[in-house]
Structure 1
Amino acid sequence: MSVITTGNAPKLLWPGLNAVWGQGYEEHAKEYTDIFEIETSDKNYEEDVEMTGFGLAPVKLQGASIIYDTDNQQTVTRYQHVAYALGFILTEEEFDDNLYESRGVNRTRALAFSMRQTKENVAANIYNRGFDPAYTGADGQPLFSVSHPTLSGTQSNLLTGADMSEAAIEDGCIQIMQARNARGLKIALMPRSLHYAPTNAFNAERILKSVLQNDTADNAVNALRSMGLFPDGGKVNHYFTDPDAWFMRTNIPTAGMTLFQRKKATFAQDGDFDTSNLKYKAYERYSCGWSDFRAAYGNAGA
């Protein structure tokens, strides 16, 4: 157990410092809300269940009996909420003698910053690990796979590896628009937003917002823009670890990419009678993942 004593930062005990820095940086706006739908939970865990629906209707011959189909339960996705907590301890002497609380050494603010960064990393890691077969969903496949099992055969939400370009994004849109449900019936799946690391921020801006085709002398319309294929636009995520990977979220309304908030971040403090130490802690509980793989399509880059 680490205890912050006067020896941890002795300079804070003496007057005359010009500045105390390292804890007052600006912070990015929330980004996990761009890559997940946020829902609340009041249970130990949440579950999403896939139902197959029915297949195509066969021809009924004159006088023949109706063919009856079955609506089956398929994958069951469980979101097991996880608690995240962090704290720090100050000796009474350190608390009394620290002269610079008002100059930026606000450890409670730093604790809140750590909790927010944790949540961003947990959320982004679902995408970061989306190509890794060691991290699988309810169907036994990673988030982005060519082999998601369905009643009508395997289906893919893994895009052909390519660096971000207008052509690669168009190919991804075509793959999305050809999606089918578990029974193999065509569904009106459409791209909704494009997500990428900061290294692709300028590239994505030009591709999505140019009136004419990007990086070409052809006087051709930018089809991605004119067709309104990304109504929610492009989103930078500073927590994506692969600079070349990029992702597309679709219009799956529910049971797609979901973050369940079980308990919002809480902060508390207390004192220890025997040592006179002061304890500060933060606690939050949530879970995130995916149920319907069609909610996101991923490209690992070239």
Structure 2
Amino acid sequence: MAIMRSEAWAELLEPILFDVFTNHTAKLPDYRSKIFNVLSSKKAVETALGRGSIGMMQEWTSTGRKVHYDEIQKGFKVVFEHKKYSNGIEIDRDLVDDDQYDEIISMAQDLSFSAYYTQQYHAASVFNNAFDTGHLGGDGKPLCAVDHPLVPGGTVTIKNAGDYDLTADNLEKVRTEIAGWTDDRGNIIPSNFDTLLVPPALRKAALVIADSDKEPETDKNNVNIWKGRVQVIEWPMLTDPTVWFFIDSQRAKRDLIWWNRRVPKLERDTPAFDFDTEVA
């Protein structure tokens, strides 16, 4: 967003700057949309209510030859309270009079990057704070914990945190642990963990696991069971060089939500609109 002094010349600059702001970061990778389910919101607050699992279908004759209706236990409630962010630049009339258009465009590019970076930073914070007990989810646990309760008051928990280096053997160990997850009814939870999310320091280790023809880290001539089964996402915004995440991308797209209350856009100060307070 930008303040421009003088209505007439500001109108002349507006189409150029709006185009620069919109397109400057358009080709930069949006890691948020690769992992999150990006939705639009028209409310000040969004809520989501988790739920327990649904059981298996029942045999027709065992239910009196009528439809069996299941009772699903209520889950944890999560509240999404939207926050508002802003940034601005002032473009002085003298820059126009002195034909400093390159500097003006550069300022608009910087503002575009500010909007892009802010969104990527906050999206990455979900993972940067994954083990932080100061950032708790609806179940009262951080994103990664050894004792996630599945439903309020339930005794079944799952562990989705560990202290493992990123190796092929450890990835298999994690896969085995995940395969043992059960829901609140004790049934196996079907899953397809297919994505490795890593910081730059673990990019090489992840790609060796995901792309090697033969089994990595061994002199045996075994096939690499991970080749073609996992995609690697290297996210520069991840701050811990040793922490990696194994993700079921389909479930992430369903349950890991990013709300857009307002998509960042360039706005201009006008006599009818007070830019600083957004009061018309």
- AA aligned to 1:200 is L
Shift of residue 271 of structure 1? 5.3
Question: Which structure features the higher share of helix residues?
Answer: 2
Give the aligned partner of residue 186 of structure 2: 184
- Indicate the residue corresponding to 2:218 in structure 1: 216
How many Å apart are 1:152 and its aligned residue?
3.7
5 Å-filtered alignment, 1:154-169, equals 154-158=157-161, 160-169=162-171
Amino acid at match of 2:119: K
Spell out the pairing of 1:122-137 with structure 2 (5 A cutoff): 122-137=122-137
Question: For residues 1-58 of structure 1, what are the alpha-carbon distances to aligned partners after superposition, in whole Å with 9 as ceiling and x for unaligned?
Answer: xx99xxxxxxxxxxxxxxxxxxx9998421112231212222222222122245689x
Aligned to 2:74: 73
Letter in 2 for 1:259: W
Where structure 1 has 5 or more consecutive residues not aligned to the other structure, the ranges are 5-23, 58-67, 274-278, 284-302
**Once the 2 structures are TM-superposed, how far is the Cα of residue 240 of structure 1 from its aligned partner?**
0.2
Gap change, CA 1:222 and 1:93, over 3 Å in 2: same
Secondary structure class of the residue paired with 1:268: coil
SS at 1:234 equivalent: strand
The equivalent of 2:242 in structure 1 is 244
Alignment correspondent of 1:119: 119
Inter-CA distance 37–192: structure 2 relative to 1 (3 Å threshold): farther
Cα distance in 2, alignment partners of residues 52 and 76 from structure 1 = 12
- 8 Å CA contact 1:55–1:184 kept in 2: the answer is no
Once the two structures are aligned, what percentage of the paired residues are identical? 23
CA contact (8 A) 1:267 1:280 kept: no
TM-score after normalising by structure 2: 0.76
1:46 counterpart = 2:46: yes
Matches within 5 A, 1:100-115: 100-102=100-102, 106-115=106-115
Deviation per residue, 1:207-264 (Å, 9 max, x gap):
1111111132101111122xx532xx10010100001110111132664211122221
| Shift in Å, 1:102 | 2.4
Aligned counterpart for 1:172 among listed residues 168, 171, 174: 174
Per the alignment, do residues 88 and 42 of structure 1 end up closer, same or farther by CA in structure 2, a change over 3 Å counting? same
- In structure 2, the gaps of 5 or more residues are 5-23, 58-68
Offset from partner CA, 1:179-206 (integer Å, 9 cap, x none): 2223322121120211001111122111
RMSD: 3.3
Q: Determine the structure 2 residue equivalent to 1:83.
A: 84
Q: Structure 1 residues 254, 49: CA separation in 2 closer, same or farther (over 3 Å shift)? A: farther
* 1:30 maps to 2:12: no
User: Which structure shows the bigger proportion of residues in strand conformation?
Assistant: 1
CA contact (8 A) 1:38 1:259 kept: yes
Label 1:257 to 1:69 Cα distance change in 2 as closer, same or farther (>3 A).
closer
Change (3 A) 1:201 1:54: closer
Q: 1:154 to 1:187 in 2, by over 3 A?
A: closer
Superposed CA deviations along residues 43-100 of structure 1, whole A, max 9, x for unmatched, are: 222222122245689xxxxxxxxxx984221201122222221112234334533x43
Matched residue of 1:75: which SS?
strand
SS in 2 for 1:71: coil
